[in-house]
Amino acid sequence: MSARNPGTKLDLEWISKVRVNTHAILKRAQHIQGQKIPKKQWQAAWLLKAVTCIDLTTLAGDDTPSNVHRLCLKAIQPIRSDLLKEMDMHNKGVTTGAVCVYPSRVADAVKSLKAANSSLPVASVATGFPAGQTPLETRLQEVRLAVADGASEIDIVINRTLAITGRWEAMYDEIRQFREACGDAHMKTILAIGELGTFTNVYKASLVAMMAGSDFIKTSTGKESVNATYPVAIVMVRAIRDYFLCTGHKVGFKPAGGIRTAQESLVWLILIKEELGNDWLCPLLFRLGASSLLADIERQIYHHVTGQYADYHELPMA
Amino acid sequence: MAGSTNKTVHDIFQSMEYGPAATSSTATAQAWLEHHSRSLGLFIDGKFVRPADRQSRSLADSKGGHVCSTVCAVEDDVSQCASSAVNGHKAWVNLSCHQRAKVLLRLVSVLGQHGPCVSELCELCDAACSPSTLVRLLQYYSSWAQLRDTLITNWTPLGVVAVVVSDDCSLYSLMIKVLPALAMGNAVIVVPGLSTAPPALLLAQLFVAAGLPPGALNVLTGSDLSLGAKVAQNSSISYVTYSGNKQDGVMLCKATAGMGVSVSVSPYIGARCPFIIFESADIDSAVDAVIETAFKKKREVLWVLCVQESVQDSVVARLRLRMVGMKCVGLHSDGDRVLVDAAVQDAQQQGATLVQSCAAPPSGAQYPPTVLCGAAPSSPFVVSPSPGPLLPLMTFRSNTEAVTLGNHSPHGQAASIWTEDLTLALETAKSLSVGSVWVNSHSVSDPCLPVSGHKDSGTCTDGGQEGLYQFLRPSSSSPPLPRSSPVSLNYSKFGTAASPAIIPDDSDSASAPKPYLQFVGGKACKSVSGCSVAVQSPGGGSVLAYCPDGDRKDVRNAVEAAVKVQPGWMKKSPSARAQSLYSLAKGLEAKRRDLCGSISVQTGLSSDEVDEEVELSIARLNDWAAYCDKVQGGTPPLPQSGCALSLPEALGVVGVVLPDKNPLLAMVTLLGAAIGNGNAVIMVPSQKYPLPALAFIQVLQASDLPAGLVNVITGSRDQLTVALANHSVIKAIWYWGSAEGCQYLQHTCTSPLKVLRLSCQKKDGGKEWNQSHPSLLEEMWRNAVQWKSVWIPTA
């Protein structure tokens, strides 16, 4: 396991040199979407890989210990075990990447997983999710509390006001403080790309987030009007590549919001493979934030194994 | 790949490899081929013809399997095909514009039914062209067919046009010549290459199904390009246009020299094109484009990567990262592999470093994509590129150096430039001497974008409205060249005969012939050799004057002077050029009497006729002055979002060999067309009637035209024609003269290519210089410009 990204000093000159050509990015996205997706056992293997990268998420006002418990148990056995056995994958530790909940539900999730003897990480959104429009002090406190409750991954949201107005120094300082508050917990920084305006701003915000020591950068909260799109993902993963080339540190990428079908999850994997290479195709560096995606993937795998299309009730619910 | 199907899910889960590429079905195309017993005939007069006792040529697919065989046509087939085409043309040209447009549109729906067959056949034959591309071509040209008489008035189709392509030419490049020719009302004889033959035959068959009259589109297949020359030889052919590689194009030019048919070529394959990445570029996207375009198996253009020094490391680092895992590219033969190995070894010995996707396999006809960093314009692998997926990378310091580096090549096909700085992009696009500039993009082609190779990359424009004119001529003109058979001409001896020495009989000192001076670099001067030739009176007999006997050294001096001032002249605003032409007309008016005198002495015409010629000459210069700022490009509407520009640009230095007829009017007409559009000229007055041109020198001297922009050199026409033909700086030659002269120029002006406008002088007839029909003037300014298209995509 490689070392975490320690971050760097804020390099404003680097940020000022960023150039992004919107048309070329869109064309690249089209090209990636047009790639032939893997078939047969290749498809099954890729879908299982996608499963291991899912942050199985519930972020609703009516979350209670009981539905969080169901979510946790689904996360540790995401695919019906008889299906896995058919592919000889039953003993290969196929679980989702993590479960992702609100800070108040962290304790419930940790409890459920502990009871099931699982070491699956619990991720928590924090820092005034989703808008981030609360005072810095309470946002920091939120992070600390979630970590204290046992969350080992924290999804923070950036202060869009600072990003849109180009106050990169202030944004860098804030994220630095979040990172400190996270301690050993991994930090995923949500850029809320739907609200940043231009691709150039997305690229710059990505760089600042990585310089400030993010372990992951994440597209969106799932609560904005524009969520994870392929073009914006290309911009972000190119920033990751840029950062890797300059510092040698690998930062992870997490698209979230609106990813619902198995087909889409394959395109995401192709995008990462094409732009960043195989190194990034693991839960350590790639996560898919999703709630309903898993059900569709499980149906596809059911079809691969049995040749039949499953009804939803044939597969265990989350 | 037998083992790969045994891969377990877990193996793949670990390696995350892509599965084997799915092989697409080619069943429909195979069925069509089977229907023809895998042996395709010629397509003449609306049906397949299979003459007996012909040789055949076999086409193999990419894996070496037999696809089909085609017939090698012989002379009999050519003449049968030509007479069918003549009838086809009659039927086709007599339809209304609307009816022709409807046929093209109907082919769109026919393609809709047979789309899979066409695309599968293209794929089998390795001549990829998607049905959507064909549909776009058809829709674009059907609207031109519809609007021909509305928007292009007073132009008429040429008749039967031959479209000849080399074996490596793509189907798109073939169709971008065939469809405009048909849309304008010509009949077309297609001589396809090996890989384009089956799709061309299928399309011809579908065209007939769409209602094209039999004979309007015939397809002749042959063993090699010599069939193209055989077709050109047929006297019913009015025009030959070629697309493909340079060698075959040159061969066709030489083989057709002297046939009295004009031939233009678009040798777009194998052109060296700069791919320029500025520091202000989106470097990731630029590198992405390099990966996409530079390492294809079927390379049409040879990219040279030019990177600004400040971002070289960043570009190379990204290339290195992106190239990891790219598969080896297949070469055409084991022989190619030897060449690639030699080129790479050479490069490494000269200190080039390699960026490779993987180590080269020890042998076999494949090679990994390779970037050769540290290339220089003098590196052997840049000067004479080897086959294979090799990409030279050079660095430049400043924006101007990027342009210099990009322009320093015999080719002028295309360039791709990457910058987010709009001003820099437009300045660079304007300064590059190439036909297509793609800003932040590459290899974009659409029928509405004119493609016109500059320098050694072509002598005609394809695509756009600009590309239609190669298939039209002004209604009021006659074909400039009479059909003839090539004579046996000793090309090395042409123009070397000594001019006859004429010594005047009577030595009456009072009427001693006046010695005239020629005009080189803005100065009236004698010829370099110091010799002069006698100018005789119209009846023969007496000597009127002596004029300098110019030769290649005079041409050389004139070109030196012209090439110095031409770029500055071209950069001047069109209205400034207009003012210079207006003042030239005024100067001519002031010297009216001198000019009238010289014309009447020289030609013996009546004073009314002489007055009229001078009057028309003044008017003509005014015409051209007025045209200067009216000749403009356009903004072609591409289906994608972005901004396209089509810009007319000067050719450079033009050599003009003037006709005998209307010596002054012809001179100012051609001079005005040339310099009004930003060219410099070297004019050779009629050998028979040089005096009016020489008298015009005083007008030129008094004008404010930059010294060297217009040069006038007298002497033996043939000798000066040879001198013009053998100077590479001269980009075009407009020639009036003998059939031998035309043949000489067609044969000689191939390396580098020159744009030739040839007219064979007849006793009477020929161009009516005193006509000022708009389409005649339009034809002349279209001859004086070349087109550049610039494409700037936006989101």
Please spell the DSSP secondary structure of A253-272, one letter per residue. Answer: EE-BSS---HHHHHHHHHHH
C-beta of residue B392 within 8 angstroms of C-beta of residue B272: no
Instruction: Work out whether strand B461-462 and strand B451-452 pair parallel, antiparallel, or are unpaired.
Output: antiparallel
A311 falls in which pLDDT band (50, 70, 90)? confident
B18/A45 CB distance under 8 A: no
| Residue A254 a catalytic site member | yes
For residue B271, the SS3 value is strand
Quick: pLDDT tens for B715-770: 999 999 999 999 999 999 999 999 999 999 999 999 899 999 999 887 665 668 88
C-beta of residue B730 within 8 angstroms of C-beta of residue B754: yes
Q: Which of A218, A223, A250, A273 is catalytic?
A: A218
Quick: pLDDT tens for B438-450: 999 999 999 999 9
Pairwise CA distance, residues A42 & B18, whole Å: 7
pLDDT over 50 (residue B2): no
Q: What SS3 string covers B527-576?
A: CCCCCEEEEEECCEEEEEEEEECCCHHHHHHHHHHHHHHHHHHHHCCHHH
Sheet (strand B237-245) strand order:
B47-49, B42-44, B217-219, B187-191, B160-165, B237-245, B262-269
Quick: pLDDT tens for B131-144: 899 999 999 999 99
Alpha-carbon B189 to chain mean position: 20
Looking at the domain that runs over B35-269, which CATH code has it been given? 3.40.605.10
Q: Report the 10 Å Cβ neighbour count for B670.
A: 26
Interface of A with B (CB under 8 A): 19-28, 31, 36, 38-46, 48-49, 87-89, 92, 238, 241-242, 245, 269, 273, 277-278, 281
Among 3.90.1150.10, 2.40.50.140, 3.30.70.20, 3.40.309.10, name the CATH number for the domain at B271-444.
3.40.309.10
The residue of chain A nearest to residue B287, with distances taken between CA atoms, is: A24
> How near does any CA of chain B get to the CA of A64, in Å?
35
Mean pLDDT for the stretch of residues A4-31: 94
B288/A28 CB distance under 8 A: yes
The CA distances from residue A47 to A73, A253, B420, in Å, are: 20, 18, 39
**Does the CA dihedral B1-B6-B9-B11 come out positive or negative?**
negative
How much of chain A exceeds pLDDT 90, in percent?
A: 81
Q: Count the alpha carbons within 13 Å of B603 in the hemisphere toward its beta carbon.
A: 24
Mean pLDDT for the stretch of residues B215-237: 94
B288/A49 CB distance under 8 A: no
A21/B440 CB distance under 8 A: yes
Quick: pLDDT tens for A236-282: 999 999 999 999 999 999 999 889 999 999 999 999 999 999 999 99
**pTM of the prediction?**
0.93
pLDDT over 90 (residue B512): no
Quick: pLDDT tens for A198-231: 999 999 999 999 999 999 999 998 888 888 899 9
B508 falls in which pLDDT band (50, 70, 90)? low
B18/A38 CB distance under 8 A: yes
The CA distances from residue B506 to A131, B17, B522, B602, in Å, are: 108, 97, 35, 19
What is the ipTM, given to two decimal places? 0.91
Pairwise CA distance, residues B92 & B151, whole Å: 20
A42/B283 CB distance under 8 A: no
Show residues of chain A in contact with B312, CB under 8 Å.
Answer: none
Quick: pLDDT tens for B339-364: 999 999 999 999 999 999 888 888 88
Interacting residues of B562 by C-beta distance below 8 A, sequence separation 6+: B653, B680, B681, B682, B708, B709, B711
Interface test with A, best of B13, B321, B326, B422 (most A CBs within 10 A): B13
Quick: pLDDT tens for B38-81: 999 999 999 999 998 899 999 988 788 899 999 999 999 999 99
Please name the member of B16, B420, B793 whose beta carbon is closest to the beta carbon of A49: B16
pLDDT over 90 (residue B298): no
Show residues of chain B in contact with A42, CB under 8 Å.
Answer: 7, 12, 17-19
| Residue A9 a catalytic site member | no
* pLDDT recorded at residue B510: 54
Interacting residues of B719 by C-beta distance below 8 A, sequence separation 6+: B495, B496, B499, B551, B552
Instruction: Work out whether strand B454-455 and strand B472-474 pair parallel, antiparallel, or are unpaired.
Output: unpaired
pLDDT over 60 (residue B3): no
Question: Rounded to 5 degrees, what angle do the CA atoms B595, B597, B599 make?
Answer: 70
Is the fold of B35-269 the same as that of B271-444?
A: no
Pairwise CA distance, residues B608 & B619, whole Å: 16
Which residue ranges form the domains of chain A, and what is each CATH number? 12-307 (3.20.20.70)
Q: Where are the domains of chain B?
A: 35-269, 271-444, 517-526+557-793
B631 falls in which pLDDT band (50, 70, 90)? confident
Domain B517-526+557-793 -> CATH class: alpha beta
Residue B696, token pair as written in the block: 């015009």
For chain B, give the mean pLDDT.
92
**Does the CA dihedral B468-B474-B475-B478 come out positive or negative?**
negative
Mean pLDDT for the stretch of residues B503-510: 57
Show residues of chain A in contact with B324, CB under 8 Å.
Answer: 277
Residue B690, token pair as written in the block: 């040089």
The residue of chain A nearest to residue B795, with distances taken between CA atoms, is: A23
* pLDDT recorded at residue B506: 57
Quick: pLDDT tens for B206-221: 999 999 999 999 999 9
Pairwise CA distance, residues B101 & B273, whole Å: 36
H/E segment holding residue A75: helix A65-76
Q: Report the 10 Å Cβ neighbour count for B688.
A: 16
- Determine the number of helices (DSSP H) and then strands (DSSP E) in chain A: 13, 8
* pLDDT recorded at residue A2: 60
